[in-house]
Amino acid sequence: MVRLMSGEKKMIATIIVMLIAVIAIGYYMVEMQGENNGVRTIVDMTGRVVKIPAVIKRAVVFAQYTTVVALGAWDCVVGTSKWAPYNTIIQKTVPNIDKIWHNGSATSFNTEEVLSLNPDIVITYGGNGGYVTPKEQIEQLENAGVPVVCVNIYNISDVYKCILLMGQIFNREQRAEQIIETMQNAFDMVKNKVSGLDKVRCLHTWSSPTKVTAGLGATHELIVNAGGVDVASSLNERYATVDIEQIIEWDPEVVLIWGSAKYTPQDIYNDSQWEDVSAVVNHQVYKYPKISTWDPEVAMLQVWFAVKIHPDAFSDFNIQNYADTFFNKIYGIDSPYEWS
């Protein structure tokens, strides 16, 4: 056996340390080269692992286009949904929306037209819900070399997750955190104001007065967070059609109408079948603005729910001023909706 002198041991140890350092630096350089070559790996909201460009310059956005505005990333958008020009927030924040390709929607679009836009990425809806992009169209895009990221939103927690994901996609992580902080401030304010108050029986009606949102989804959470009891919560689904006898049995004290519904509180007041329901007797049927429960403004809708369910807790509260401040922080505009 060859014995090494102490000096030789020190030299060998130094060489080993240097080799480890070289290997580490080499590995780091490979990682950096991969990043510089434009490769990032993310996991979308349906659990799909997707490789996307390091920098997104051209995006087709079928889902959550107002969130892209909130992130300050709209300059990357080269195509969007046919429904985008009808969105009030898009109308107020994207003056050239008519000049941007908007032919098709998440559920149906011309793949060749999308590919002709030379997108770096397509963002759409996926998962097991009804409003999703068909798998074959996703495969067509991916086979053509275009990464597809799917979002999937069922509740308020998913809205937060989506904002963080979109922030990651567009390299706007810090802005995403700012948006969530503004939203959370609204939720916390509501929680503080309704804490300890008596619960109020509430019903949220959807596309018709007897089609209700039930125990799953964002509107159920909005009712509960606002100090209400969702009388339809025992129905373990997102939407359910019930008969008027069931509504009379539930006897909601407050009825809240989906903003996109084609009927008004007056239609319910004028319907003799509803005349004995407490919300009608006490004139507490309300319809909120036509906004999304899948975007940052869901936090503003939470405030509105609380104001209608517990008005006494907000007697000194100016909801329109609050909304203007909220929308300025999120979208850089006063609220385009009236929050009466």
42-171 shares its CATH topology with 179-331: yes
Strand pairing partners for 40? Answer: 52
Residue 313 has a pLDDT of 97
Residue 217 has a pLDDT of 85
Model confidence at 245: pLDDT above 60: yes
Q: How confident is the model at residue 236 (pLDDT cuts 50, 70, 90)?
A: confident
Q: What is the mean pLDDT of residues 277-286?
A: 98
Q: How confident is the model at residue 71 (pLDDT cuts 50, 70, 90)?
A: very high
CATH architecture of 42-171: 3-Layer(aba) Sandwich (3.40)
State the chain's mean pLDDT as an integer. 90
Q: How confident is the model at residue 10 (pLDDT cuts 50, 70, 90)?
A: very low
Task: Write down the pTM of the prediction.
Answer: 0.86
Model confidence at 26: pLDDT above 90: no
Candidate from 4-18, 67-81, 302-316 with smallest mean pLDDT: 4-18
Model confidence at 37: pLDDT above 80: no
Sequence spans of domains, the chain: 42-171, 179-331
Model confidence at 9: pLDDT above 50: no
Residue 338 has a pLDDT of 95
What CATH number belongs to 179-331?
A: 3.40.50.1980
Looking at the chain, the whole-number percentage of residues with pLDDT higher than 90 is 83
- For residue 340, the surrounding DSSP H or E stretch is none
Q: Who has greater pLDDT, 103 or 130?
A: 103
Q: How confident is the model at residue 147 (pLDDT cuts 50, 70, 90)?
A: very high
Phi, psi torsion values for 213, nearest 5 degrees: -85, 135
Neighbours of 80 (CB within 10 A): 27
Strand intervals (E) in the chain = 40-43, 49-52, 59-61, 77-80, 121-125, 148-151, 200-205, 211-213, 228-230, 239-241, 254-257, 285-287
